[in-house]
């Protein structure tokens, strides 16, 4: 990214950051560097400590989030590394509705006596602030997965910092194009790069960003020691996907907004949850679990699959997973709206919904 262009918009940063210099005969794209070791005497030494392909991805995502970035082998590897900031017996505050992998990690750490956890309604800012007392780390998503609740990031960050706690925001759903938690007071941002950042359902990868140099050094040290590093080819794919993030998010959000307006009118849908931005929509079907299970079997374009953020539209009944909180309705179906033609998406979804009201 040109150093003399500090005011570039996010869409431009997504395209330009992490590229080689504009010198004659330089490649336009960062090459894939396939190596496990380096000639001694430099900064890298060994493949677990760094890679030029990682650096390109980290530069691009760091520029989008307003901090410095570290790439990880998966979103959960990133989650685990950040939770490792909490010392023995420390308290973590987290939303009752969160990504199940995060909740499972918290439950596992608590069961082993490593931490204590207090789960909260993240939309109740006063209750979250009260829970921050004696907390070491406050972790949340906004929107939450799959309830799509919105948190007041700035207010929660202020309350947490008053108690000396770190603030971590999982920004996977919003992406840095729609929300920059570091600018709102968060200490660390976490991503499942598998989702929107890579964007094509072909990569397992995670990422962490922070604007705190001390925290960055600690997190990098933990990544180096634990070996939670991404594959070079996966990182190259994620960077390639990042180049079109703004286009994909714009289209998915446009599609989601239109679908939400129609879903709210359909008699088979008891509730439509949408935070007003992004490409994730959750619906609660009037027929509850049975209707949800039938719905995901009756479409041609919409694919019944877990994960989200790809170019294709997918959906699933979240309570099919045993670890999903019981406060998530049985009939809730999470939709990851893709970039297909919205009329085709609606036609396919509507015919499936219509079968539930016959």
Confidence of residue 1 (pLDDT cuts 50, 70, 90): low
pLDDT of res. 358: 60
Residues 6+ apart with CB under 8 A from 343: none
Residue 18 tokens, joined = 């992490």
48 pLDDT higher than 70: yes
Residue with tokens 């016959």: 358
Q: What is the pLDDT of residue 22?
A: 93
pLDDT band at 7 (very low <50, low <70, confident <90, very high): confident
Given a cut of 60, whether residue 5 has pLDDT beyond it is no
Least confident of 1-5, 139-143, 338-342: 1-5
Q: Which residue out of 195, 273, 317, 318 is catalytically annotated?
A: 195
341 assigned to active site = no
| Catalytic position from the list 91, 170, 187, 196 | 170
Burial of 261 (0-12, 13-18, 19+ CB in 10 A): exposed
- 196: nearest Cα among 159, 145, 156: 145
Domain boundaries, given as residue ranges, for the chain: 10-242, 246-355
**163-209: per-residue pLDDT in tens?**
999 999 999 999 999 999 999 999 999 999 999 999 999 999 999 99
How far apart are alpha carbons 311 and 307 in whole angstroms? Answer: 12
SS3 255: helix
Q: Global pTM?
A: 0.95
CATH topology of domain 246-355: 3.90.1150
Question: Residue 357: what pLDDT?
Answer: 85
Q: Is 195 a catalytic residue?
A: yes
Query: 68-122, pLDDT tens digit by residue?
Result: 999 999 999 999 999 999 999 999 999 999 999 999 999 999 999 999 999 999 9
Average pLDDT over residues 300-321: 96
Phi, psi for 63 (deg, rounded to 5)? -65, -35
Q: With CA atoms as reference, report the closest residue to 335 among 75, 145, 169.
A: 145
Burial label, 227 (beta-carbon count in 10 A; 0-12, 13-18, 19+): exposed
- pLDDT by residue (tens digit) across 263-290? 999 999 999 999 999 999 999 999 999 9
List 68, 91, 99, 317, catalytic entry = 99
Question: Which pLDDT does position 70 carry in this prediction?
Answer: 98
Q: Where are the beta strands (DSSP E) in the chain?
A: 68-72, 90-95, 115-120, 135-141, 166-170, 188-192, 206-210, 269-273, 280-285, 303-304, 314-317, 332-336
- Active-site residue, from 38, 48, 152, 298: 48
Check residue 302 and give its pLDDT: 98
Q: How far apart are CA 208 and CA 333, in angstroms?
A: 28
- Are 305 and 333 a contacting pair, CB within 8 Å? no
From residue 285, give the alpha-carbon distance in Å to each of 145, 225, 228, 307: 18, 46, 40, 20
State yes or no: is 170 an active-site residue.
yes
Q: What CA–CA distance (Å, rounded) separates 138 from 129? A: 10
The dihedrals phi and psi of 234, each to the nearest 5 degrees, come to -60, -40
Whether CATH 3.40.50.300 fits 10-242:
no
């Amino acid at each position: 990214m040109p150093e003399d262009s500090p005011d570039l918009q996010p869409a431009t940063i997504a395209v330009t950051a992490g590229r080689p210099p504009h010198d004659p005969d330089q490649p336009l794209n960062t090459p894939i560097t396939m190596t496990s070791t380096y000639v001694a005497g430099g900064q890298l030494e060994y493949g677990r400590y760094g890679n030029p392909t990682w650096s390109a991805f980290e530069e691009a995502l760091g520029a989008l989030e307003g901090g410095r970035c570290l790439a990880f082998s998966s979103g959960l590897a990133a989650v685990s590394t950040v939770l490792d900031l909490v010392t023995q017996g420390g308290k973590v505050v987290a939303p009752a509705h969160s990504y199940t992998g995060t909740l499972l990690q918290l439950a596992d750490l608590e069961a082993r006596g490593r931490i204590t956890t207090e789960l909260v309604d993240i939309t109740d800012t006063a209750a979250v602030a009260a829970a921050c007392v004696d907390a070491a780390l406050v972790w949340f998503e906004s929107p939450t997965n799959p309830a799509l609740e919105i948190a007041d990031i700035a207010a929660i960050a202020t309350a947490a910092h008053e108690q000396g706690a770190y603030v971590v925001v999982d920004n996977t759903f919003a992406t840095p194009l729609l929300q920059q938690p570091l600018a709102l007071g968060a200490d660390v941002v976490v991503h499942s790069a598998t989702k929107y950042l890579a964007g094509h359902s072909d990569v397992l990868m995670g990422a962490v960003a922070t604007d705190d140099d001390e925290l960055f050094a600690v997190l990098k040290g933990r990544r180096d020691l634990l070996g939670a590093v991404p594959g070079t080819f996966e990182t190259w794919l994620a960077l390639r996907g990042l180049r079109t993030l703004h286009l994909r998010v714009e289209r998915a959000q446009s599609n989601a907004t239109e679908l939400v307006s129609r879903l709210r009118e359909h008699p088979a849908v008891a509730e439509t949850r949408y935070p007003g931005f992004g490409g994730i929509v959750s619906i609660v079907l009037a027929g509850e679990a049975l209707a949800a299970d039938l719905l995901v079997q009756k479409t041609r374009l919409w694919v019944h699959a877990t994960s989200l953020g790809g170019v294709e539209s997918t959906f699933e009944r979240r309570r099919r997973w045993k670890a999903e909180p019981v406060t998530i309705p049985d009939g809730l179906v999470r939709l990851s709206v893709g970039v297909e033609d919205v009329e085709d998406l609606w036609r396919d979804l509507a015919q499936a919904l219509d079968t539930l009201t016959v």
